Structure 1
Amino acid sequence: MSCVDEATVTRAARRLAEATATRRPCRPLRDLIDADDVHGAYRIQKQFNALRVATGTAVVGRKIGATSEAVQRQLGVDQPDFGVLFSDMAFGHRAEIPMARLLQPRAEAEIAFLLAADLCDGPLDDAQCRRAVGAAVAALEIVDSRIADWDISFADTVADNASSGVFVLGEQHRTLDELEPAEVAMRMEIDGEVVSTGTGAACLGDPLHALSWLARTARDFGDPLRAGQVILSGALGPMRPVHAGAVVDVHIHGLGHVSASFS
């Protein structure tokens, strides 16, 4: 259990909120919270996200972070985490995303699951999660950090809503009768150059394993997954920095293509 008091949680959440509002990254939270205090970090995340909800922004789903060994190595963490997806984070295929709303963006390719059923009761195992998925979609997640220079511990990224930025969903929907998530191959390009490759198996062995982990964890936190939510299941390969003027293309076998440009 965390020993961080509520006043410290509030200070940390406000530090992240100020970085968001001013578009200036802040120092890490390690002066306020131990680097491995996961419980305390999720308390900060909850308060940080509540500030966003208070402005009228709707929750549309969840994201799972640090599911790929390659991304874990890049971030210096050794376990997955989760964050919340908001309506103003969502973009469609071929969207132009303004760099002004991002701080230190990095792109990663994922499978998104669109839930057709709640995941709140039962074993929440892979089989149940498979039945709950209405469709799978190619996704491009732009992760972003409010922490300066991505100098993060696990607690930093958890508190910072799992370093969430924005996400882009493709237009091809496939049921899991038509697609085996663990078997897909992914290629990500920036300005026509291949910068990341991977497979579904890179995501905790199977993106459905990641979904099952999230379903159980979300229930444990008292906020289970619900029908209609978008779930970003985690990176299929290394993430890469994005610059102004870049065009990012993701190709996932069986799910087609999703693209975005950055202005």
Structure 2
Amino acid sequence: MKNWKNKLVTLSLLGTTILGGFVPNTAFAQEELPAQVQAIKDAGVFRVGIKEDVPHFGFLNPDTTEHEGFEIDLAKLIAEEITGSADNIEFTGVTPKTRGPLLDNGEVDAVIATFTITPERKETYNFTEPYFVDEVGFLVRTEDGITDFAGLEGKTIGVPQSATTKDLVQAEADAQGVTVKFSELATYPELKTALTSKRIDAMSVDKSILAGYVDDNNQILDIGFSPQEYGIATKLSNDELHNYLNELINGWLEDGTLAELLETNGVQASSSEGE
């Protein structure tokens, strides 16, 4: 794989502006679009599955009723490339449980929703090169005094349904000789509520997601494991669209566009990158 870590974190900021400061950069700009991409352009809308409960990545702001975050801006940038306008976009909120079926049913063209790339998932969907790498962590109540993995002995860990988190936490617990229990819930807000109400002892998911749920009564443990690579997912049959999106991601990794999007949305690169 390319040394994309350095490309991702190097802030080669751009001078010309669209979409609040970002410039499209694609080898397809002056060429005929592939048929699957042309179909989206002809339809006049890029349909994207996004998260609505992950601050800084994909979030539906209740005050403004607007979608915001790094992945929202990335989706808009793609819409700009394909249709000529970042406004030609249709968002559908997804969870780890629903994002796959929405792709399967053709209700969305792509999913940009903290979707972790795994060998098993690559048998079912196309994934672009990673646009972000994170690691699994824990959000715990500060009053409980938990500081490390050993402190989770006998505790109940809240994890999202249909995500990779449960298996990853179990594997790490086995490696460290720690016994844990699990509670699987559908959404991140439900997990946070369960933590606050003491129905679970820790909330576990990728650290970038946990960061959106930190408050005065909890903290993210200073540990992390199992690097998670996020990619844009499309149907296996949509090879032309996949190749087009992959070209965009590689170009934006090269020229610093993704790094600027991350910085604008207050997202920091994980310390696990490149490991």
Higher strand share: 1
Larger radius of gyration: 2
Same fold (TM over 0.5): no
